[in-house]
Amino acid sequence: MFFVQDTSCLSSQEKNVITDGQFTCPYSKILGVFEYIRSLFEERKIDITDCVALECDNSVLNVLVLLFLLENGYRFLLLSKGVQSAQSMMSVPPSIPSFCRYRIRVESLNDNGKGSGLEHLDRILLISANEQWVDCEAARGILYLQTSGSTGVPKIVVHSHAKLRENALNCVQRFGLSYEDRVTIPVPIYHMYGLGAALLPSLAVGASIDLQKGTNLLRYLQREREFESNVAFVTPAFCETLAKGRKSPRLYKLTVAAGDRIREDTFSRYEAKCGCLVKLYGSTEMGAIAAGSPDEAMEIRLQQVGLPMSGVQIRVEPSATVSPNPLLDYSQKMGELWCYHPAGFNGYVDRAGLPIQSHPDFQEYWFRTKDLGQLEPDGRLTVLGRCDRSVNRDGLLVPFCEVEQAIETLAGIESVIVEAQGESPRGKGLVAYCVLTQETTLSEVEIRNICFNILPKYAIPDRVVILNAFPLLQNGKVDRQKLISMTAADAMNLARG
């Protein structure tokens, strides 16, 4: 096997499993399932040169189909199963690009299917032809991923299976994953984080895997008791939930958090209750760029992301607008991160499958991350936030994350998101959206008044908005566009400062 490194786990004596709580497949049965999928593909005349779209969620059968496609060098697009519409409770199938000839969908097992699954594969593995299919020649062994689109229109990213595997092995090494581990994956496996950093590395070492979809605190704790996990891949938001909701400590060997900034106090509280936490920094295009290691001291894991992965080079392009600012304590070493990754992507394609030549964010194998960060003297990477999450005011750069961090230190503030909106006398208008802790009586005016003591004048938000909660995207990240639209109507009244 190409992706499963340690093939001894496939032998019939071995006990390691892949489970989703409903259906459990021992590694020893994987090759048998492959035979079945192969015969189904032959029956449907799906050729190795055809491109298929796999609608995926965190279920065992999806993982088996995914692994089958990878092991056999198929060209395929991995995408989410579609959004549930609130009205009908029905899932709307995602639209697929014209270069995919077939659509594969694994139906969820109902309760009657509990414990079985393999016997009913023909009923739950649905293959349909794409009526809009237009052939587009391309090499075999390609995986297409869609970017999450949290900052705009989703792009289609091209990865070779070989580099994807290299990326996975980087993660195995950095996290020290082994065959003994029991890994919980509650993050979606159709995104690079869940796929490239969590699922494929776990498969590579033959670790037991617990897949969770749409998890919540209670379900997570229940599954944790049953599965006895010792490694977890989570989002910072879920770290927060676990740190708050868990009653007594239960130490994991390792938890990996990626996808967003993690607050320092969340980090410490999580670590006290659940054990070693490391950050991972990456993207759909590059896979895992840098990550912490469980071998590092907590202070280092808390402050920085960690060392770049093997062979990865980072360039910090000093942004012309960055000015040294003693009050906010950022240095001139900070700038936009560019990344060269030997296991990075091949490029972008359009919806016809044709390569997009000379993309401005991908030049001579250097990828523009659009993130602000800096390299520490010891080579470790610190990531501050998105570049586009900063504005110029009074001729000085104000990264939103710096303002957020300052306001978050106030008692009574649970979390803060800063966005640019409208204009103010200092330049772009700044709005701080705040969620308060319970039993706080701070008003919007009071918060803004306190800002005068903790921020330089040009970085004080023009407006403070108190919300009960932030609107979220399906992937758990904050829906910034919705956030802005919530206050856009009265954005004209901003100019106070």
Partner 1 sequence: MSTTIVEQLKTIIAEELDVNLKAEEIDEHVPLFEGGLGFDSIATVELIALLERHFGIEFSDAELSPETFSNLTVLADFIDKKMNSPSITVV
Q: Which amino acid appears at position 455 of this protein?
A: L
Using the minimum distance from each CB to partner 1, give the nearer residue, 246 or 333. Answer: 246
**Please, what is the minimum distance in Å from the beta carbon of residue 452 to partner 1?**
29
Nearer to partner 1, 248 or 441 (CB): 248
Q: How many residues bind partner 1 (CB under 8 A)?
A: 21
Can you state the angle between helices 236-245 and 264-274, rounded to 10 degrees?
60
Backbone angles phi, psi at 370, to 5 degrees: 65, 20
Check residue 221 for interaction with partner 1 (CB under 8 A). yes
CB-wise, 217 or 298, nearer to partner 1? Answer: 217
Spatial distance between the Cα atoms of 187 and 212, rounded to a whole number of angstroms: 8
Q: Which is nearer to partner 1, 232 or 314 (CB)?
A: 232
Contacts of 86 (CB under 8 A, 6+ apart): none
What residues between 389 and 448 interact with partner 1 by CB under 8 A? 438
**Closer by beta carbon to partner 1, 94 or else 476:** 476
Residue 362 neighbours by CB distance under 10 Å: 19
Among 90, 153, 218, 489, the residue binding partner 1 under the rule CB under 8 A is 218
Q: How far is the CB of 472 from partner 1 (least distance, A)?
A: 8
With contacts defined by CB under 8 A, name the span among 236-244, 254-262, 327-335, 369-377 that binds partner 1: 236-244
**Binds partner 1 by CB under 8 A, chosen from 12, 89, 364, 445:** 89
Rounded to 5°, the CA angle 115-211-53 comes to 95
Distance of alpha carbon 286 from alpha carbon 381, whole angstroms: 15
Contact residue for partner 1 among 29, 44, 250, 261 (CB under 8 A) = 250
Q: How far is the CB of 477 from partner 1 (least distance, A)?
A: 14
Is there binding between residue 15 and partner 1 (CB under 8 A)? no
Tell me how far, at minimum, the Cβ of 245 lies from partner 1, in Å.
4
Max distance between CA atoms of the chain, in angstroms, equals 72
From the CB of 239, what's the least distance to partner 1, in Å?
11
Residue type at position 194 = G
- Given a contact cutoff of 8 angstroms between Cβ atoms, the answer to whether 403 and 455 are in contact is yes
Does 238 sit near partner 1 (CB under 8 A)?
A: yes
In angstroms, what is the minimal distance from the CB of 86 to partner 1?
9
Q: Are 80 and 24 in contact (CB under 8 A)?
A: no
Under 8 Å CB-to-CB from 207, ≥6 apart: which residues? 16, 177, 178, 179, 180, 181, 182, 183, 231
Site for partner 1, residues 58 to 87, rule: CB under 8 A: none
Binding mask 161-180 for partner 1 (x = CB under 8 A): --------------------
Spatial separation of the C-alpha atoms in residues 198 and 186, rounded to whole Å: 10
Contact call for residue 468 and partner 1 (CB under 8 A): yes
Q: What's the rounded Cα separation, in Å, for the pair 307 and 324? A: 25
Decide if residue 310 touches partner 1 (CB under 8 A): no
DSSP state string for 357-424: -S-TTEETTEEEEEEEEEE-TTS-EEEEEETTSEEEETTEEEEHHHHHHHHHTSTTEEEEEEEEEEEE
Choose one: 115-123, 198-206, 217-225, 325-333; the region binding partner 1 (CB under 8 A): 217-225
10 Å CB burial of residue 214 (0-12, 13-18, 19+) is: exposed
Q: Does 88 bind partner 1 (CB under 8 A)?
A: no
Q: Any contact of residue 217 with partner 1 (CB under 8 A)?
A: yes
**Minimal distance, residue 217 CB to partner 1, in Å:** 5
Nearer to partner 1, 29 or 261 (CB): 261
Instruction: Work out whether 90 is an interface residue with partner 1 (CB under 8 A).
Output: no
Q: How far is the CB of 469 from partner 1 (least distance, A)?
A: 6
d(CA 133, CA 145): 18
Binding window for partner 1 (CB under 8 A); candidates: 221-229, 263-271, 382-390, 483-491: 221-229
Residue (19 or 283) nearer to partner 1, CB: 19
Give the whole-angstrom CA distance, residue 118 versus residue 121.
Answer: 5
Based on the shown chain and the rule CB under 8 A, indicate whether residue 469 belongs to the binding site for partner 1: yes
The residue within the footprint of partner 1, chosen from 19, 241, 304, 475 (CB under 8 A), is 241
**Identified binder of partner 1 from the candidate list 114, 225, 315, 482, rule CB under 8 A:** 225
- Give exposure, 457-477, as e/b (b: 16+ Cβ within 10 Å): ebbbbbbbbeeeebeeeebbb
Distance CA(78)–CA(94), nearest Å, equals 11
Contact set with partner 1 (CB under 8 A): 89, 214-219, 221-222, 225, 238, 241, 244-248, 250, 438, 468-469
